């Protein structure tokens, strides 16, 4: 089960980087963001660790940030996910 969670976290990191790329090329980044949020909201209660709440808060606010802060927040989210991987 740990391998599945770790795989999910790595996939999520990749998706966040993909979201950054979508925003940079003025693609359909908002729809991409919605998909990521749906996945995060769908995690079971067991998966919602102390790192989950800052992650969901930051990802939820991405839609409203100017690019400079958007990019910074994406990398902060990726660092949170890395902490989640290490705590497994």
Angle between helices 52-61 and 29-41 (to 10 degrees): 160
CA 5 to chain centre: 14
* H or E, element range at 63: none
Q: Output the CA torsion 69→54→41→1 (10° steps).
A: 120
Three-state secondary-structure class, residue 58:
helix
User: pLDDT means per 10 residues in the chain (88 residues)?
Assistant: 82 96 96 95 77 94 97 98 88
pTM of the model: 0.89
Tell me, what's the pLDDT at 71? 98
Tell me, what's the pLDDT at 18? 97
Location of structure tokens 């090329």: 25
């Amino acid at each position: 089960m740990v391998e599945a969670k770790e795989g999910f976290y790595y996939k999520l990191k990749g998706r966040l980087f993909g979201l950054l790329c979508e925003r940079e090329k003025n693609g359909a980044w908002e729809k991409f963001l919605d998909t990521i949020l749906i996945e995060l909201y769908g995690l079971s209660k067991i998966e919602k660790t102390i790192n989950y709440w800052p992650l969901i808060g930051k990802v939820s606010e991405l839609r409203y940030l100017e690019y400079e802060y958007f990019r910074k927040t994406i990398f902060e989210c990726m660092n949170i996910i890395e902490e989640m991987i290490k705590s497994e």
